[in-house]
Amino acid sequence: MSGFDANWLALREPFDAAARDGALAARFIAAVVERAAQRNRMPAVSTRVSWRPHACRLVDLAAGAGSNLRVLAPLLPGDQDWLLVDHDPELIAAQARELGRWAASRGWRCSVAEGGLVIDTGQAQWRVRARRLDLQGAFDQVQLGSFDGVTTTAFLDLVSETWLERLADRIAVAAVPLLATLTVDGRREWQPASDGDGAIAAAFEQHQQGDKGFGASLGAAAADSLRAMLDSCGCLTGIAQADWRVDRGGGTQAQTMLLRMVDESAAVAREVDPAAAAVFDQWAAFRRSQALAGSLSLRVGHQDLLALPGGPQA
């Protein structure tokens, strides 16, 4: 439905995990833990009993099959309560499957309970609920202020400037920490360089600014733009490069990724400039042969962005 199938998200997951900036994640986690602690020190305003009120509450926007949780949950201490929001029912179905498989591979128990899944690591319990929602039309239905942290991965480059302004405003008003990881920044470096890389890159850049359901997207400019918006809302921000490195000789996984990236790049270029399809096909055939021979590497530029509520404590 969204064009992001679960197989593609699974293929990129280890490259995403390796690329992320650890220092920004650590600062995010410290802020989430502090906010949860502050909330727990305040007298309860509601008589509604929520699941493990002391648990850190996180929402992952455009969660796909749940890869963000799989990276961050093991880094956060104690019980956690996650809400995974996405508009694609197939990816929401994949969340339960992938989380179950992941938990089993670590010897953790995963059961259907408490209105979602509960993963029991032996040290802590993590509740994971899914919510199907269109973040373009219905973003306001997610009450950001009721969470201790907001996360999103590989999403910001799909949205419009107007949507990013909404996000920045809402993060500032809710005074909630945000970690937005792996936003593409437009850099794609094939090694060794070859004729045709420039034309492929230009087509990709043009495609990135297309409408992905939110109006014209900011594409490669998204992370820097959001950072400026958050700064002007009084948040404290940090940004770091988080590039995919798909190295020659990186084994079957790297080769599969390289072939996928070659095919995707050529398909995007053909869509943008059908008249030059033969040139792009030639480029793809050459790059595929290099990937299969183990002589191709690729670096894809991404940025991680952290925003903390302003004020002396941040």
Ligand X SMILES: C[S@@+](CC[C@H](N)C(=O)[O-])C[C@H]1O[C@@H](n2cnc3c(N)ncnc32)[C@H](O)[C@@H]1O
Q: Please identify which residue in 136, 191, 194, 209 interacts with ligand X, judged by CB under 6 A.
A: 136
Distance of CA 250 to the CA centre of its chain: 23
CB of 153 to ligand X, least distance (A): 4
- Examine residue 92 and tell whether it contacts ligand X (CB under 6 A): no
- Tell whether the torsion through CA atoms of 188, 25, 209 and 267 is positive or negative: positive
Query: What are the CB-based long-range contacts (under 8 Å, 24+) for 134-137?
Result: 134/87, 135/61, 135/62, 135/85, 135/87, 135/159, 135/163, 136/163, 136/213, 136/214
Least distance (Å) from ligand X to the CB of residue 143? 16
Min dist CB 65 to ligand X, Å, is 6
2 binds ligand X (CB under 6 A): yes
Given the complex with ligand X, which of 52 and 60 has the nearer CB atom? 60
Question: Cβ-closest residue to ligand X?
Answer: 64
Binding status of residue 206 toward ligand X by CB under 6 A: no
Q: Judged by CB, which is closer to ligand X: 82, or 283?
A: 82
Q: Which stretch binds ligand X (CB under 6 A): 33-41, 121-129, 147-155, 217-225?
A: 147-155
**How many DSSP H helices and E strands does the chain contain?**
9, 10
For residue 183, state whether it binds ligand X (rule: CB under 6 A): no
Instruction: Give the helix/strand (H/E) hosting 26.
Output: helix 22-41
C-alpha closest to that of 17 among 302, 309, 311, 308:
302
Instruction: Return the closest-CA partner of residue 190 out of 283, 115, 116.
Output: 283
Residue 158 touches ligand X, criterion: CB under 6 A: yes
Q: How far is the CB of 217 from ligand X (least distance, A)?
A: 10
The site for ligand X, by CB under 6 A, has a size of 20
Subset of 57-86 contacting ligand X (CB under 6 A) = 62-64, 67-68, 86
Kindly identify the residues of this chain, within the stretch 209-238, that bind ligand X according to CB under 6 A.
213
Residue 88 near ligand X by CB under 6 A: yes
Q: Would you say 9 or 144 has its CB closer to ligand X?
A: 9
**Please, which residue, 65 or 221, has the CB nearer to ligand X?**
65
Q: Which of 43, 42, 41, 40 is nearest to 54 (CA)?
A: 40
Q: Which of 15, 28, 126, 155: binder of ligand X (CB under 6 A)? A: 155
How far is the C-alpha of 173 from the C-alpha of 310, rounded, in Å?
11
| Window of 28-36, 123-131, 151-159, 245-253 that interacts with ligand X by CB under 6 A | 151-159
Number of residues that make up the chain: 314
Quote the least distance from Cβ 204 to ligand X, whole Å. Answer: 15
- Around 154, how many Cα atoms within 13 Å sit in the side-chain half-sphere? 20
Are 277 and 262 spatial neighbours (Cβ–Cβ below 8 Å)?
no
Residue 289's H or E segment, with its range, is helix 277-293
Q: Which residues bind ligand X (CB under 6 A)?
A: 2, 4, 9, 62-64, 67-68, 86-88, 91, 134-136, 153-155, 158, 213
